[in-house]
Structure 1
């Protein structure tokens, strides 16, 4: 087997077409995070993104996106942001993990959301985790029709346990602020920027790493928002009450899979459960659009237990070749992952950690910065929360 390497953002049109065909041929690889558009976006925004192309009899049959850092340390492309990682290949294609790493010039490759079908990587897996999904096959929601009545009918049929409470909150929100309106594919970039500001405030409020304080992530999201391809479309969805945005979500969508990614809401409206309202609206709209699966991503969250229809399994681990750099990297990274996974696996520890992080977050958000600073700038990272945000003690918005 011949393996060639390419910059992710410089793939030729024939290779892009072959990659898209491969995604269609193999249902396990239909996730938009496995599309060439995502790898190219990371390459343009951060640099270092590569694609190993596997060839048989002169034909491209597999595509492996990765990032190469110093000393031959590699990671799955978008590690820490991507909810799905794999070598995308045509049915029946086999490969050797060691040969792949040698062809890529890597001593070690780290992954944390590897799809279950990647058998050549199996012996390098250090843990597997549930990744909940919502099945939307047969155009769920289409039979209910469009508009508020159609949505209510779909909600009662699909989630009878949630329907009464959810519809009551939506009616109350409509009475308080104005008629409810959901836009599945909002094209206003100002709304995307508002979502990032909301999410930055949530990260600081809960003492998580503020992803949108990193300019390359802001650039990545803004560039993916512009992509409109069959196997990858950046979809911004917004719930409005009257003219006021209530909640927003941005995530990638392929022809078959819609990935839940960044969700946030106006913290003043937390008592209306806007994060849950957003996910229910997204599921109904995606089903009407013909999408088969809403991928909620790895992680234990109450709303995921409410919404999921089944679970996939994703893996984390380190593919290595005999090399001192590989040994050092594994010894450094594995204990960190192990400690995090131990906390996440025990509800009591997880709740204590969440309480501690929220307390720290309250202290962190008492700084000051010019209002309206752009996400990704130093000023935005230190932007003070509004009075309503400082008072907020509710649950964090769902998503990354």
Structure 2
């Protein structure tokens, strides 16, 4: 095992941040912006204390894992919104997640673990696919790889764009917008969507909303906030906020005005992004974990991510595993629709009570 210690993000030197970038650049598996120090910096600036597990300081740094701590529980930086998680390692360096149980940390929880790591395998409780869309070569390149369903939906998006042009006015797509009002619109519509569906509100806390604003002002090669907008005439009907690292864009917070649902604005957004991908230098759009229908239809490939918990306490691990299995069993049971409606109703009541 490697002796790790926890260091505050603000205590890292500029040379250590450069070392972080260099190590990340050397591993093609870590091409997502989630692994860049600029993402951790934005999370830290949003009001969340980011701590970094390191094996050494300065040029000797060969193992690091950016995290955030909640009492005795350590989780990957950006939790619960980080769609890819894992350590940044020098070639040949060894990582054992048990080494994170230091300085009073009793457990390390992860839910989107990406890089292959034999020492993590014993702690994995579940796995899921995370789809992506290959857009090298633009729209034609995507269509050459897409499934029949993906091609059909892109064709429908083209026809719906023409219908919107005819009925509602010019359709305007902006691949990169820095409009603060558009970001506020996106956040409001996304929270309304969470409330309407009963889904967990990932933008309920002020620090997560602040994170999006901070990332929109982040323009580093390894991490840049990207907001795209879609207007019908003068009306903003859809937007997407994601993070980019050079050739890879992570599809993070898409939303549209339900009043325009018949136009499937999300597919129009995705089509427009594929069209401008060569101009933007994009080759892949990561859609994130989930079995949403549009992800199944749009994807051209997928990677696997894992969830689990690392702890020295057998009792804590058994309890955590039991809770996760209970949730999984409930989701796959015949009572799942009823249970889902009950959970959604409860969350809607909480949201309404919070607004009262």
Q: Fold-level match, TM-score > 0.5?
A: yes
Query: Hey, what's the Cα distance between the residues in 1 that align with 2:128 and 2:229?
Result: 30
Structure 2 residues not aligned, in runs of 5+: none
Does structure 2 conserve the Cα–Cα contact (< 8 Å) formed by 1:140 and 1:288?
no
The 5-angstrom pairing of residues 184-199 of structure 1 reads 184-199=175-190
Which residue of 2 is the match for residue 82 of structure 1?
A: 82
Which residue of 2 is the match for residue 342 of structure 1?
A: 329
Which residue of 2 is the match for residue 140 of structure 1?
A: 137
Which residue of 2 is the match for residue 271 of structure 1?
A: 262
Q: Does 1:92 align with 2:83?
A: no
Which residue of 2 is the match for residue 236 of structure 1?
A: 227
Query: Hey, what's the Cα distance between the residues in 2 that align with 1:227 and 1:185?
Result: 13
Query: Hey, what's the Cα distance between the residues in 1 that align with 2:82 and 2:293?
Result: 21
Which residue of 2 is the match for residue 51 of structure 1?
A: 52
CA deviation after TM superposition for structure 1 residue 7, in Å: 1.6
* Offset from partner CA, 1:2-36 (integer Å, 9 cap, x none): 64432224432111211112221101111111111
CA deviation after TM superposition for structure 1 residue 361, in Å: 7.3
Q: What value does the CA root-mean-square deviation take over the aligned residues?
A: 2.7
Which residue of 1 is the match for residue 315 of structure 2?
A: 327
Structure 2 vs 1, CA of residues 364 and 7 (structure 1 numbering), >3 Å: closer, same or farther?
closer
CA deviation after TM superposition for structure 1 residue 216, in Å: 1.4
Structure 2 vs 1, CA of residues 341 and 53 (structure 1 numbering), >3 Å: closer, same or farther?
same
Query: Hey, what's the Cα distance between the residues in 1 that align with 2:332 and 2:264?
Result: 25
Structure 2 vs 1, CA of residues 47 and 360 (structure 1 numbering), >3 Å: closer, same or farther?
closer
How many correspondences in the alignment?
351
Structure 2 vs 1, CA of residues 156 and 170 (structure 1 numbering), >3 Å: closer, same or farther?
farther
Which residue of 2 is the match for residue 203 of structure 1?
A: 194
Does structure 1 conserve the Cα–Cα contact (< 8 Å) formed by 2:48 and 2:207?
no
Please give the secondary structure, in 1, of the residue aligned with 2:203. helix
The structure 2 residue matched to 1:162, chosen from 153, 164, 171, is 153
Which residue of 1 is the match for residue 355 of structure 2?
A: 382
Query: Hey, what's the Cα distance between the residues in 1 that align with 2:11 and 2:273?
Result: 33
Does structure 1 conserve the Cα–Cα contact (< 8 Å) formed by 2:173 and 2:272?
yes
Structure 2 vs 1, CA of residues 32 and 155 (structure 1 numbering), >3 Å: closer, same or farther?
closer
Query: Hey, what's the Cα distance between the residues in 2 that align with 1:342 and 1:292?
Result: 37
CA deviation after TM superposition for structure 1 residue 355, in Å: 5.1
State TM-score, norm by structure 1.
0.79
